[in-house]
């Protein structure tokens, strides 16, 4: 029988004892979206999304994609994957702000969609 070097043996032992928790990424439940009534064509514009968090679900990030007439946001959360993960019973809401930089210049009407649902039109002046 061949003998494994000590360093290789240590790596095998550590790898078998240490499990890296897996994380699942998902689109969050959006409770509300706050948009400005109007914005200049090239000014930054804040969009505030309120998402449901709690249990094992946490906010992760917002991704934005934009054309001159449409802003599409995807709001992502994360939670542990697998069974037997202890989660709390607390459910609440958190507000997070996405700032659209204003480039390319907006045109009217400027529509905002969050997680696939139209959330309103912002007047461009």
- The domain segmentation of the chain, as residue ranges, is 22-124
Between 96 and 12, the more confident residue is 96
Per the CB < 8 A criterion, the answer to whether 122 and 37 are in contact is: yes
Question: Is the predicted pLDDT of residue 5 greater than 80, yes or no?
Answer: no
Better-predicted residue by pLDDT, 3 or 41 = 41
Q: What's the predicted TM-score (pTM) here?
A: 0.80
State the average pLDDT over residues 82-107.
91
Beta strand segments in the chain, E: 23-27, 30-34, 38-39, 45-54, 58-66, 70-80, 91-100, 110-114, 117-124
Tokens found for residue 115: 């997680």
**Which residues are CB-contacts of 96 (< 8 A; sequence separation ≥ 6)?**
48, 49, 50, 51, 59, 62, 75
Q: How many CA atoms lie within 13 A of 9 on its CB side?
A: 5
């Amino acid at each position: 029988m061949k003998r494994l070097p000590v360093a290789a043996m240590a790596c095998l032992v550590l790898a078998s004892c240490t499990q890296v928790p897996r994380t699942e990424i998902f689109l969050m439940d959006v409770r509300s979206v706050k948009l400005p009534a109007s914005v200049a064509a090239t000014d930054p514009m804040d969009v505030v999304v309120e998402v449901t968090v709690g249990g094992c679900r946490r906010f992760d990030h917002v991704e934005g994609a934009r054309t001159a007439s449409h802003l599409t946001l995807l709001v992502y959360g994360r939670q542990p994957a697998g069974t037997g993960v202890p989660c709390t019973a607390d459910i609440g809401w958190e507000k997070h702000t996405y700032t659209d930089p204003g480039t390319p210049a907006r045109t009217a009407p400027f529509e905002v969609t969050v997680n696939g649902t139209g959330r309103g039109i912002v007047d461009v002046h």
